[in-house]
Structure 1
Amino acid sequence: MKRPKPSGQADRDTEDFLSKYLKELNADNAAVFVGAGLSKAAGYVDWPGLLSEVAQTLGLDASKETDLVALAQYHLNSNATNRHQLSQLLIDEFSDLKAPTENHEILARLPIRTFWTTNYDRLIEKALEAGGKRVDTKYTQEHLATTRRGRDAVVYKMHGDIEHPDKAILSKDDYERYHQTHGPFTTALSGDLVEKTFLFLGFSFTDPNLDFIMSRIRATFTNHQRQHYCIARRRARFKGEKEAEYQYALTKQNLVTQDLMRFNIKTIFVDDFPQITTLLKTLEDRYRRRTVFISGSAADYGSWGQGATEEFVAKLSRALIEKDLRITSGFGVGIGGAVVTGAVQQIYSTRQRSVDEQLVLRPFPIGIKDPDERQKTFTRYRVELIAQAGIAVFVMGNKKVGASIVTADGMRSEFELAKERGLFLVPVGASGSMSAELWNEVTKDFDRFFPSAPPKVRKLLEGLGEPTDKPETLLGPLLDLINVLTSGT
């Protein structure tokens, strides 16, 4: 259950980031700023790579230059301000349709609605669209004045888009005129940096625009700036690099890190780039654990009886909402109504919560006559519901076919989909029917379903299969198990 973590101060910094950024995700206050480093991992060039050819024509080496904006300006100066070659470079390097990286895909799955980037490519948009989200992309002042209906995320491309290379921000001239040509972007980013908690990824913090904006915010809010984070690779010693050169680079990185704290940007260091993906996966995993998928259906309530079963499910739903967890469910026959009753009662007990935020229901459209189309729709419903969750609870699971009561194959489908997506699977075996079958399957192969789980997880899960005519006796152990799975301890 636990992912390996670094030790010492790095461990504390990482846990602090995961805990606080997770809270911002849950509060819909999280944003991301993506730099060239994330696109380079997908196969695109970074700024030194983009301008290497330009540097050669000037008799310079792009890898030795620190002010690449000036390098682009030198090119314009020597070509009578003709930027055709720069525009062509953008077309040549960014027109190829690269696939988003795993990091892009994780970010797209998280509940982040605000993305900022200095990149010209469309990797962010592609990842969001592949995840079924409607994207509102903005890279001109005119775009800022319009809003895409029903948008799920906004991508602000403050330096332009590959589709319009002639308008991309590249040179000193472009940066110096930015407040005139892109003034509303400056205003919009300033507002987001004040109101949202940003995670900076693949960003070097050498961009003059961002430095100017952050400086203005610092001057205005002084000691009341919002906390932001960036994930960066700790400087490693290159092969053949002298010790003195390495120590110099390390000192410079530490000084830059300290300087970012002026803007309340805390750096989370990793030793290699794959650790960034591991960190984002951990963040996603913890976020998904805050949502519980309830799978259940009942045409026959067995020894529990309808009243006791519905009360059990309603109390479970109330308790989950009280713990500030979300619930997703397909409104299974005989069970879904109790989920709604318990959840809504608890949500309405406080004015600070809304049904839409904490309860996601998808009644299955049983009126579809074509069996193939019905099955296709049902599967999509299940995937969308389960993909949001980190824990799946299974209760009963039977249906009536003709005059007979049979186990629900729909619950089996939901179990398999949840297993494929890495959810913690919690069948309430004592409720019988398909849940009993799934409980037997999980407990017999416990270590595969719950790798590295503490002993109390096995004990609590096994207790959910002990026969009882009073389902309320299972509520305490079930909630204890969900608490353990949610906390990850």
Structure 2
Amino acid sequence: MAVRGALSKRVPNYLDAARAAREGLGPNWYKVLREVFDPPRSRALEESLALPRAIWEFGSKLVVTTNYDRVLKWSCPEWANLRSWDIEAPAELVRLLRDDLDYPTIWHLHGTIENAANLILTPDGYNRLYSTNDVRGAHYEAALTSLRHLLASHTLLFVGFSFEDTTFGDQLRWLEETFRGAGGPHYVLVREAERDRMRTRLQGLPLELLTYAEHGEPLVTRVREFATVCQQRPRTNL
């Protein structure tokens, strides 16, 4: 009932729903997480991997995701050389800050199902990563510092990102306030039918909207179009 109550609000509170689920499930919480986020590769329909494969076509050595699953790993064309980072990987993040990545890399900013106990999914986890409080934020200080470096020095394209997660949006507000609009630019892909609502949601954030007709093949085609354009231009920090 608590989970349904959090999700039935006019503005659903997903963090409260996750907290209620964790408290209600007790030890079964991690079993449910594995069932949801860690299915075997054999269960994945090949056509469902078209979008993550298109993302790899940009040629960037780094893909940052807030998803917990292995889909980006399954779809990486260089999977044999793929590197995967959990939330906090200090030595590896130093290489990111130096633009010194040799292999395709997935940074699971909110954790990975391979380490289910550390997922950023409930309010306490978000506080550990995004809090500016020295005590609560110290554990993930390298991660937050690296994220802010990326936002300030690189161009990011957000794919499948609703920005209902206000804590991540706060990092973009920090970017805008700190660098007075000099960071980025950053782009977010938005379904045409949701453009006006998304524009309202993103008001005040340093993001440019790029639209696509519909989920599925139209979105995949749009991502591949952008990937082709990026490949044709001189190398940039994308």
TM-score by length of 2: 0.77
1:116 aligns with 2:61: no
Q: Any conservation in 2 of the 1:228–1:266 contact (CA below 8 Å)?
A: yes
| Aligned position for 1:101 | 49
After TM superposition, the structure 1 = structure 2 runs for residues 68-467 of structure 1, keeping only pairs within 5 Å, are 68-76=14-22, 79=24, 83-96=26-39, 97=41, 98=44, 101-128=49-76, 130-131=77-78, 134-141=81-88, 143-146=89-92, 151-178=102-129, 179-235=137-193, 252-257=197-202, 259=203, 262-273=204-215, 274-286=217-229, 290=232
Q: CA offsets, 1:110-129, max 9 Å, x none?
A: 2111211110011112222x
Q: Percent of counterpart pairs with the same letter?
A: 18
Q: Any conservation in 2 of the 1:133–1:152 contact (CA below 8 Å)?
A: no
CA distance in 1, matches of 2:75, 2:219: 17
Specify the code of the residue in structure 2 equivalent to 1:60: G
CA distance in 1, matches of 2:226, 2:56: 13
CA distance in 2, matches of 1:272, 1:200: 16
Q: C-alpha displacement at 1:192, in angstroms?
A: 0.8
Specify the code of the residue in structure 1 equivalent to 2:18: A
Report the structure number with the largest CA radius of gyration. 1
Specify the code of the residue in structure 2 equivalent to 1:118: T
Q: CA offsets, 1:133-180, max 9 Å, x none?
A: 622211142x33247x97322211111111111211111111122223
Q: CA offsets, 1:52-93, max 9 Å, x none?
A: xxxx465537365521012222345x54xx753332221011
Specify the code of the residue in structure 1 equivalent to 2:188: C
Q: C-alpha displacement at 1:213, in angstroms?
A: 1.7
- CA gap of 1:183–1:162, structure 2 versus 1, over 3 A, is same
Structure 2: runs of 5 or more not aligned = 130-136
- CA gap of 1:162–1:104, structure 2 versus 1, over 3 A, is same
CA distance in 2, matches of 1:158, 1:251: 28
Work out which structure has the larger RCO, using CA pairs closer than 8 Å and 6 or more positions apart in sequence: 2
Q: Any conservation in 2 of the 1:133–1:151 contact (CA below 8 Å)?
A: no
Q: Any conservation in 1 of the 2:151–2:184 contact (CA below 8 Å)?
A: yes
Q: Any conservation in 2 of the 1:138–1:144 contact (CA below 8 Å)?
A: no
CA distance in 1, matches of 2:101, 2:74: 17
Specify the code of the residue in structure 1 equivalent to 2:17: L
CA RMSD of aligned residues (A): 3.0
| Aligned position for 2:5 | 60
SS at match of 1:232: strand
| Aligned position for 2:134 | none
Q: CA offsets, 1:436-471, max 9 Å, x none?
A: xxxxxxxxxxxxxxxxxxxxxxxxxxxxxxxxxxxx
CA distance in 2, matches of 1:62, 1:70: 9
CA distance in 2, matches of 1:150, 1:182: 21
Q: CA offsets, 1:369-427, max 9 Å, x none?
A: xxxxxxxxxxxxxxxxxxxxxxxxxxxxxxxxxxxxxxxxxxxxxxxxxxxxxxxxxxx
The number of aligned residues is 216
SS at match of 2:169: helix
Specify the code of the residue in structure 1 equivalent to 2:71: L
CA distance in 1, matches of 2:55, 2:199: 27
- CA gap of 1:252–1:92, structure 2 versus 1, over 3 A, is same
CA distance in 1, matches of 2:139, 2:52: 29
Q: Any conservation in 1 of the 2:63–2:105 contact (CA below 8 Å)?
A: yes
Q: Any conservation in 2 of the 1:108–1:131 contact (CA below 8 Å)?
A: no
- CA gap of 1:150–1:61, structure 2 versus 1, over 3 A, is closer
CA distance in 2, matches of 1:276, 1:59: 31
SS at match of 1:263: coil
CA distance in 2, matches of 1:63, 1:144: 39
SS at match of 2:32: helix
- CA gap of 1:197–1:60, structure 2 versus 1, over 3 A, is same
CA distance in 2, matches of 1:287, 1:252: 28
